[in-house]
Chains A and B, each alone.
Chain A
């Protein structure tokens, strides 16, 4: 039972354009969502997060949007840079699960110069 789903395994974007990474979830108990960036053979690096009481959070080039009714969130990166090329994981936390995170399958973003 995949509670957090990233249905696009890969995404290719031109430098300077917008990258949109999508994530869907099924568990209504999730109250906090996070996006992590990961390079091969390294641990994930925290990017940005959003509480379920909000619908948008912005940090520099990164914006996360949350649509609770659709159980959908997305990460927007604009403008995209070649250094953004990595695997992006969406993660969710349920308020009654002791803080553990459930991860999506990841989306590999490739930003081409």
Chain B
């Protein structure tokens, strides 16, 4: 069964609105989660590391005020795309590393389309 869930799976919004994407770890607790973005036919680009109890760590070039990350609990991280624009349209995926394992488990992804 699924280890990581994401909600919603697809979202269409108007330019200028904000969209929240949830990532849940279903089988284990996670103090860290990762958020990735994938453009069509491109690699997965790490956006930020979500840290439970502290601020998220953003990769170079990723606007922290644009992509708000909140690690609300040991099983939930949210990514909010604020004032979305068409160029934010993408496939957003979260991953959860399992404690004591080197493996990361990925969510099913969220397709965002900004009109």
A residues in contact (CB < 8 Å) with B: 32, 34, 36, 41-46, 49, 51, 89, 93, 98-106
Interface residues of chain A: helix, strand, loop or mixed (majority): strand
Compute the total of residue contacts between A and B using a CB distance below 8 Å. 57
Interface residues of chain B: helix, strand, loop or mixed (majority): strand
B residues in contact (CB < 8 Å) with A: 4, 6, 32, 34, 36, 42-46, 49, 57, 91, 93, 95, 97, 102-109, 111
Q: A43 CA to B95 CA in the complex, in Å?
A: 9
Contact partner of B43 (CB less than 8 A), chosen from A49, A93, A104, is: A104
Knowing A41-B111, A105-B42 are in contact, say whether A46-B102 is a contact too (CB < 8 A): no
Question: Which A residues touch B36, using CB under 8 A?
Answer: 103
Question: Which A residues touch B109, using CB under 8 A?
Answer: 41-43
Assess whether A36 is in contact with B32, with CB atoms less than 8 Å apart.
no
Assess whether B108 is in contact with A99, with CB atoms less than 8 Å apart.
no
Contact partner of A44 (CB less than 8 A), chosen from B45, B49, B93, B97, is: B93
Assess whether A100 is in contact with B44, with CB atoms less than 8 Å apart.
no
Assess whether A98 is in contact with B44, with CB atoms less than 8 Å apart.
no
8 nearest CB pairs, A to B = A43-B106, A103-B44, A105-B43, A43-B108, A44-B106, A43-B109, A103-B43, A32-B102
